[in-house]
Chain A
Amino acid sequence: MTVLRVILSAMPAYLRASMQGMFQYRGELILWAIWGVVYPTVAMVAWQAAARDPIEGNTIKGYGAQEFATYFLLTMVIGHLCTAWDMFEIGYLIQSGKMSTKLLRPILPIWESISDNLAYKVLTLVILLPLWLLIALWARPRFDVSGMQALLGVMAIGLGAALNYIFNYALAMLAFWITRTDGLGQLWFGMSLFFGGRLAPVTIMPSPMQPLISMMPFKWIIWFPSAALMGQLSEREILIGLGCQLAWLAAGLLLFRILWRAGVKRFTAVGI
């Protein structure tokens, strides 16, 4: 109970401080937010062009230009809400010795990272909402979903964001052993591009890849919430998917718990 009280007391203060800190670097904040719009837009345009090929009947495995527009607009929004950068951050904290100061507090450092993450996502909405709106006006997406599907889809976004965050943070704990995890961060992002549906909907990926995609958590982060909100999945399928997300989330939490405990034990701070 004490731990919960500490978290509830600390989080509003952490969030305020995170937002104030980000105001200092608003230029960089804007650039990162724009980057989150650029690559889905490029993918959208490329796939729309491919789908307009008359030889293929103007669709690719059921995706026409409008479906691609809808899909990539959704991945743009979901990708932003799922952003995590701890694999690039934790190594720096360990290498610089700043992790020591965080370990002195009666609260896990992950809560401070979560507040940074939330602050970034909320603050950048000021820039992103108009951008998303402009792209939507241009791309003309179509959402064919029931109220229940939309509600379940929104839940899927939340779980996907939590899932991506916890795996990112858990794997960032490897920095306790290898110090720098930037490469791992790039690998994770690359895998989510390919196996998570950021580059293309996972259902249009080649058949031999499908078992591989099913064995990894990535499709539950981007593709699943997008497909749910496009009306491609029945309510039952979405509910099963939410269960899968919860299972992956539990696995991520377990991984974090194991790696955190082992990592802190190994931690020797800087110098002797």
Chain B
Amino acid sequence: MPQIEVHQLSRIFKVPERESSFKAALASLFNRRYREVRAVDDISFSIEQGEIVGFLGPNGAGKTTTLKMLAGLLHPTSGTASVLGYTPWRREADYLSRISMVMGQRSQLLWDLPAMDSFRVQLAVYRVDKNSGRDTLDEMIAMLDIGDVLRKQVRTLSLGERMKCEICLSLLHRPAVLFLDEPTLGLDVTMQGRIREFVAEYNHRHGATIILTSHYMADVTALCKRIVVIDHGKILFDGPLADLSARLAPFKVISIDLETSPDGYNFDRIGEVCARKDQKVSIRVPRERAAALAGRLLAELPVRDVTVEDPPIEDVIKMVFARGMEQTP
């Protein structure tokens, strides 16, 4: 049975808007204009226990709004959702004590105190018994390598140190479901990698179900076997990462390394050249003709090496967002 089930979930925001002038500000006192923004538009999906699912999408796509609804922070405009058998926005204490959410841009730590004090409060609020609390804390401190920063005031921590402490805080009660909203935002590459390793390790050890939103493809490709691509509030793709290119990108990339320069050869007859340097050429070709066109290149040119691959995942995502849903196959 799925741990998370979402059915036709929608969220519409009413956003006030006006022109940027004093006159417009004055007029808005008497006649306020609103625009409806469909942040999440009729989405449905389900997630099994222990899955790590990546939500990918540009700014304003509806990723965070979806997570907030599942964490009980937002009421939907319509639709249903069930997480661990609870309706999230009923905000039952039992439900809240079994989930956690890390928001990259919002701190849950006590700003003026050392992180250790926040951890103590968290253990008390979630009624974690002393022994298991100490064990969990020791485990998290070791896994996240934060032993040196526990006594520093949170306000003096670097962004990376703080984010590791935020994640530690969110996991002290061993939540069964974890919502990670941009946990690596603003972190350097090394720190991003550490956070990813930790999330994977936590999932492996405790079988937690995790939804991760991120701008960074590397987060998603490193952690998630399954991704949900969301844009303008709608799900464009939901499935294994490996299927994304096949489903959304109707082309492959043939890369050839030639023994001599291919001067005069008309690559446009084969496909769209996407990269060319010295004797190396990459050509984008229709997926169903890739094998035949690769054979033609081998027959017509002095090829030293050839590869036929799916396009890079970043390119597929960029293409999907650029084309919009209507043109997506």
A-to-B contact residues, CB < 8 Å: 2-3, 5-6, 9-10, 12-14, 16-17, 20-21, 24-25, 97-98, 100-101, 103-107, 264-265, 267-269, 271-272
Chain B residues close to A by CB (< 8 Å)? 13, 15, 37, 39, 60, 64-65, 68, 71-75, 91, 93-97, 99-101, 103, 105-108, 110, 112-113, 117-118, 120-121, 123-127
User: In the complex, A100→B117 CA distance in Å?
Assistant: 20
Determine if B117 and A269 form an interchain contact, defined as CB atoms under 8 angstroms apart.
no
Distance (Å) between the CB of A18 and the closest chain B CB? 9
* Min distance, Cβ A260 to any Cβ of chain B, angstroms: 11
Q: Contact at B124–A269, with CB atoms within 8 Å?
A: no
Most buried by B among A3, A98, A265, A269: A269
CB pair B110 A21 closer than 8 Å: yes
Of A9, A20, A265, the residue contacting B75 (CB under 8 A) is A265
* Assembly CA distance A56 to B15 (angstroms): 62
**Could you say which residues of chain B place their CB within 8 Å of the CB of A101?**
103, 106-108
Q: Note all chain A residues with C-beta closer than 8 A to B121.
A: 10, 13-14, 17
For the complex, give the distance between the alpha carbons of A104 and B94 in Å. Answer: 12
Q: Distance (Å) between the CB of B89 and the closest chain A CB?
A: 8
Given contacts A13-B125, A264-B91, 9 further A-B contacts (CB under 8 A): A6-B125, A9-B124, A10-B124, A17-B118, A100-B68, A101-B103, A105-B96, A269-B68, A272-B39
Give the residues in chain B near A269, CB-CB below 8 Å: 68, 73-74
User: How far is A103 from B123 in the complex, measured between Cα atoms in Å?
Assistant: 16
Name which of B94, B99, B112 has the most chain A CB atoms within 10 A of its CB. B112
**Residues of chain B within 8 A of A100, CB atoms compared:** 68, 73, 103, 106
| A-side contacts of B75, CB under 8 Å | 265
What is the bound-complex CA distance between A264 and B37, given in angstroms? 20
Query: Within the complex, what minimum Cβ distance (angstroms) separates A81 from chain B?
Result: 25
Report Cα–Cα, A139/B266, bound state, in Å: 103
B110 touches A104 (CB 8 A): no
Which residues from B are CB-within-8-Å of A12?
A: 124
Nearest A-chain residue to B153, judged by Cβ: A24
Question: Which of A13, A20, A25, A265 makes the CB contact (< 8 A) with B124?
Answer: A13
- List residues of chain B with CB within 8 A of the CB of A97: 105-106
Shortest CB distance A99–B (Å): 9
CB neighbours of B112 from chain A (8 A): 20-21, 24-25
Q: Is the CB of A10 within 8 A of B15?
A: no
Please classify the interface of chain A as helix (H, G, I), strand (E, B), loop, or mixed, using the class held by over half of its residues.
Answer: helix
Contact residues in B for A5 (Cβ distance below 8 Å): 127
Q: Are A106 and B39 in contact (CB under 8 A)?
A: no
A272-B106 contact given A5-B127, A6-B127, CB 8 Å threshold: no
What's the minimum C-beta distance from B184 to chain A, rounded to whole angstroms?
A: 19
Whole-angstrom CA separation of A10 from B123 in the bound complex: 9
A-B contact count, CB below 8 Å? 90
Chain B residues whose C-beta falls within 8 Å of the C-beta of A264 in the assembled complex: 91
Q: A269 vs B75: C-alpha distance in the bound complex, in angstroms?
A: 11
Which residue in chain B gives the minimum CB-CB distance to A12? B124
| Nearest 10 CB-CB pairings of A with B | A13-B124, A106-B96, A106-B93, A106-B97, A101-B108, A10-B125, A24-B112, A13-B121, A272-B39, A9-B127
**Chain B residues closer than 8 Å to A6, beta-carbon distance:** 93, 97, 125, 127
Bound Cα distance A126, B38 (Å): 55
- Contact status B96-A104, CB under 8 Å: yes
In the assembled complex, the Cα of A105 lies from the Cα of B75 at a distance in Å of: 17
- Of chain A, the residue at the smallest CB distance from B14 is A268
Q: B108 touching A104 by the CB < 8 A rule?
A: yes
Interface pairs (14), CB distance under 8 Å? A3-B93, A5-B127, A13-B120, A24-B112, A97-B106, A100-B68, A100-B106, A103-B72, A104-B72, A105-B96, A105-B125, A106-B95, A268-B13, A272-B37
Name which residue of chain A comes closest to B38, CB basis: A272
Q: Which residues of B contact A9 (CB under 8 A)?
A: 124-125, 127
Contacts of B64 in A (CB 8 A): 271-272
For the complex, what is the distance from the CA of A31 to the CA of B118, rounded to whole Å?
Answer: 27
Given known contacts A9-B124, A20-B113, A269-B73, A106 and B94 CB-to-CB distance under 8 angstroms: yes
Q: Which residue from chain A places its CB closest to the CB of B101 in the assembled complex? A: A104
Q: How far is the CB of B180 from chain A (nearest CB, A)?
A: 13
Q: Is the CB of A106 within 8 A of B126?
A: yes
B-chain residues with CB within 8 Å of residue A103 when the two chains form the complex: 72-73, 91
Bound state CA distance, A252 and B141, in angstroms? Answer: 44
B75 to chain A, nearest CB (A): 6
B124 touches A272 (CB 8 A): no
Measured CB to CB, the closest approach of chain B to A224, in angstroms, equals 36
Closest to A24 in B: B112
Q: How far is the CA of A101 from the CA of B125 in the complex (A)?
A: 13
**Contact assessment for A104 and B100 in the assembled complex, using a CB-CB cutoff below 8 Å:** yes
Q: What is the minimal beta-carbon distance from A144 to any residue of chain B, in angstroms? A: 46
| Separation of A72 and B112 alpha carbons in the complex (Å) | 36
Nearest CB of B to A179, in Å: 12
Are B100 and A17 closer than 8 Å at their CB atoms? no
C-alpha gap A5/B100 in the complex (Å): 20
**Complex-state Cα separation, A72 to B235, whole angstroms:** 66
Residues of chain A within 8 A (CB-CB) of B106 are 97-98, 100-101
- What are the residues of chain A within 8 A of B91 when measuring CB–CB? 103, 264
Closest to B108 in A: A101
Which residues of A sit under 8 angstroms from B126, Cβ to Cβ?
Answer: 106
Per the bound structure, the CA–CA distance linking A54 and B107 in Å amounts to: 63
> A235 to B168, alpha carbons, bound, how many Å?
56
